[in-house]
Amino acid sequence: MRFLSDNSATTCPAVMAAVAAANQATVSAYDGDEWSKRLDGAFSALFGTECRVWAVSTGTAANALGLACLTPPFGAIVCHQDAHIQVDEAGAPEFYAGGAKLLLCEGEGAKLSAASLAAGLSGLRGDVHQVRPSALSVSQATEYGRAYTPDELGQLCAEARARGLRVHMDGARFANVVAHLGCHPGDLTWRAGVDVLSFGAIKNGGMTAEAIVFFDPRLAAELPHRRKRAGQMPSKGRFQAAQLLAMITDDVWLHNARSANAGAQTIGAAAGPRLLHPVEANEVFLKLRPGEADRLRAAGFNFYDWGAAGSGEARFVVSWDQPARDVQSLSAALTALG
């Protein structure tokens, strides 16, 4: 049973159908088709404000492109030391932003706060010998499956703005947080002070498209140029745009996320004292006792060891299409561990 990653899940029926429906000849290639042209309007309606939206092929590209629009090459991107952009994107943010530096902050559960941001930047003098902090990147959910509430996010963004930073959100699992908190998506983005969102779709039942959402159209001026130059402007753009449109039509994205979240809640409840972090999205982090990981794997559960070698930490990710029996089996197995 697969709990390694939501990346290994299937594509949901709505997205598959949209891809099939988009298979029509068009007059214009690239972004000139009817699907691509609808992106801005559809996401603007979803978020309740005017948005500029582009499809890209990976979350890494979404993050790196968005950040490159906020950060000069001599600037710095501030993020948590466990952030995906720091740890797992092979230097893509540095590449796209022309060699900008990532400055790291700390925080329990990979969560930043105004205080941790202030601490992380406290050593900077603001002179020309040091890189200039230009953007804050926040992961929602965090790399430990934690959610920022609108209030928490608002305070963090306010601190960032007071320091002259623009705010980017890595929303690879944004849907899971919206579903978990039951907020309006605007409350977790532009109303709280977020400028650019990587709107994750692939982990949540999508196929090959993620969205970059700009809430401040002026910041987006460079995006089309940078996207083309990055090889991220597809010649048959309709196949990417259609996936994104399908995902936000009829609350598909929220339905998928709720399904995954529910499984994670069940598993978290069964984990007992092993649970490392509150379950606020579709990931469950456990601290297993010696031997337990082996027993679970022997029982057919796939999952990643996490944290330092030998720490016993483990990550279980529930996918949108996770069979209920997988969740029940894992919960039972955890309960049986005692």
Residues 104-163 that bind its own copies (CB under 8 A): 104, 122-123, 128-132
Token pair, residue 217, equals 């159209």
Q: How far is the CB of 48 from its own copies (least distance, A)?
A: 28
Burial class for 273, CB neighbours closer than 10 Å (0-12, 13-18, 19+): exposed
CB count in 10 Å sphere of residue 119: 13
Closer Cβ to its own copies, 8 or 335, answer by number: 8
Does 222 help bind its own copies (rule: CB under 8 A)?
Answer: yes
Which of 20-28, 140-148, 189-197, 268-276 is the region at the interface with its own copies (rule: CB under 8 A)? Answer: 20-28
**Interface residue with its own copies, options 18, 19, 192, 330 (CB under 8 A):** 19
Residue list 69-88, contact with its own copies (CB under 8 A) = 72-74, 76, 87-88
Q: How far is the CB of 88 from its own copies (least distance, A)?
A: 5
Which of 41-49, 219-227, 272-280, 287-295 is the region at the interface with its own copies (rule: CB under 8 A)? Answer: 219-227
Closer Cβ to its own copies, 119 or 336, answer by number: 119
Closer Cβ to its own copies, 154 or 237, answer by number: 237
Kindly determine how many residues on this chain lie close enough to bind its own copies according to the rule CB under 8 A.
Answer: 81
Is there a contact between 85 and 137 (Cβ–Cβ < 8 Å)?
Answer: yes
**Interface residue with its own copies, options 115, 162, 228, 291 (CB under 8 A):** 228
Token pair, residue 142, equals 């965090």
Q: How far is the CB of 35 from its own copies (least distance, A)?
A: 13
Does 9 help bind its own copies (rule: CB under 8 A)?
Answer: yes
> 114 to each of 100, 106, 122, how far by Cα in Å?
22, 11, 12
**Interface residue with its own copies, options 21, 41, 99, 108 (CB under 8 A):** 99
Is there a contact between 268 and 279 (Cβ–Cβ < 8 Å)?
Answer: yes
End-to-end CA distance of the chain: 21
Listing DSSP states for 221-251 in one string gives TTHHHHHHHTT---TBTHHHHHHHHHHHGGG
Is there a contact between 319 and 8 (Cβ–Cβ < 8 Å)?
Answer: yes
Q: How far is the CB of 272 from its own copies (least distance, A)?
A: 27
Closer Cβ to its own copies, 204 or 266, answer by number: 204
**Interface residue with its own copies, options 95, 150, 219, 328 (CB under 8 A):** 95
Chain CA centroid to CA 26, Å: 32
Closest CA to 184 of 156, 212, 150, 214: 150
Closer Cβ to its own copies, 122 or 338, answer by number: 122
Q: Torsion angle of alpha carbons 140, 166, 222, 63, nearest 10°?
A: -20
**Interface residue with its own copies, options 14, 18, 51, 65 (CB under 8 A):** 65
Burial class for 114, CB neighbours closer than 10 Å (0-12, 13-18, 19+): middle
Closer Cβ to its own copies, 48 or 72, answer by number: 72
Which of 1-9, 163-171, 173-181, 263-271 is the region at the interface with its own copies (rule: CB under 8 A)? Answer: 1-9
Is there a contact between 71 and 97 (Cβ–Cβ < 8 Å)?
Answer: yes
Q: Give the contact letters, 303-332, x = binds to its own copies (CB under 8 A), - = no.
A: -----xx---------x-x-----------
Closer Cβ to its own copies, 169 or 233, answer by number: 233
DSSP 186: G
